[in-house]
Amino acid sequence: MMGVRLWGVRSQIPRPLTTAAYQARLEELLASFVQAGSDAVAPGSWLREQSPALNRLIGGNTACISVQLGDDILILEAGTGLYDLGQHICQQNKHAHQPTRIHICLSHIHRDRIQGLPDFAPLYQSGYQIHFYYPEPNLELRLVRLQSPPYFEAALDAVAADVRFHTLQDLDGSYPRFATDHWQLQCCPLIHPGGSYAWRIQGAKSSLVYAGAGKIGANHLQSDGRGAAFFADADLLFLDARPELNSQNPLSWGHYTYEQALETAVQCNARHLFLFNHGPDDSDAKLWTAWQALTTDQGNKKPQVHLAREGMEIAARPA
């Protein structure tokens, strides 16, 4: 089974909950609790029954997703969510005496996709093998340049972990890929300023497609194109989506609206769609309102639509 957890779901910069936003949320919760009356159940039980907009946070970390497949941990993006993931990995392996294999895939190397890398704890411990995958050469050179003095005190090329870089190549007319006995990685270009890549992780019985930083080109969705197979029939599909787009703002390029994301997921025949890569100025309330508007008439139709949030855990099971 493919176990997936979200550690960061935003783009551009980290956006922790502000005091004003926290107080507004708390006031709304207290008002609802008082309205429930003195016969209300225990506060904890009552809180769990409230709408997601009140009892859950979207989270403020930039993009990071972990995928557990057997003894391997695959990581999509190295945003600030990577810090908590690194702490979790080290804690889980505190008493382990065998190397842990970690595989990191980047959509591109804009800063919001690599902000968490310098503080990724497994880098500084021996016994970890950390593999980076990218379809362009010189990823190692670029990351070493970014993580070295005077920008950071611990140089990437001098860490304790066994760090390896893999350049994925298109050798047989299909998209660049890397395969083990238990899973396969493939990547495909997306529409995004400066370029970006989608990733497909194929396990024995489940699949995940991550297109969380850019739009899928129309040519990739044509039934006779090689892109059709890449994006088709994913159990989990992550798309870069915003409640609304500002066409005058270059930072809005390469995103879907929620409606466009749903249409694309239907074209791809995805089982589950995750709206991902939330903008730094999109409040939790705005995101939940837009998600509710999109899903009101969705019912049990395919795909099921989810609003990506930090801490979300997903078990990808075969249909």
pLDDT by residue, tens only, the chain of 319 residues = 899 999 999 999 999 888 888 888 788 888 877 777 656 567 777 777 777 777 789 999 999 999 999 889 999 999 999 999 999 999 988 876 566 899 999 999 999 999 999 999 999 999 899 999 999 999 999 999 999 888 898 899 999 999 999 999 876 667 888 989 889 999 999 988 888 999 999 999 999 999 999 999 877 776 656 778 899 999 999 999 999 876 655 555 678 999 999 999 999 999 999 999 999 999 998 999 999 999 987 777 889 999 999 999 998 766 5
CB atoms within 10 A of CB 272: 18
Pairing of strands 64-69, 2-8: antiparallel
Question: What whole-number distance in Å separates Cα of residue 152 and Cα of residue 149?
Answer: 5
Is the pTM higher than 0.85? The answer reads: yes
The SS3 assignment for 261 reads helix
The end-to-end CA distance of the chain, in Å, is: 12
Query: What pLDDT does 93 receive?
Result: 86
Q: Which stretches does DSSP call E strand in the chain?
A: 2-8, 64-69, 72-76, 100-105, 128-134, 162-167, 177-179, 184-190, 196-202, 207-211, 236-242, 256-257, 272-276, 304-307, 313-316
Q: In terms of residues, how long is the chain? A: 319
Please say whether the beta carbons of 114 and 132 come within 8 A.
Answer: no
CATH code for residues 2-15+60-311: 3.60.15.10
**Ranges of each domain in the chain:** 2-15+60-311, 18-56
pLDDT at position 38, please?
53
Residues 6+ apart with CB under 8 A from 153: none
Provide the pairing of β-strand 272-276 with 304-307: parallel
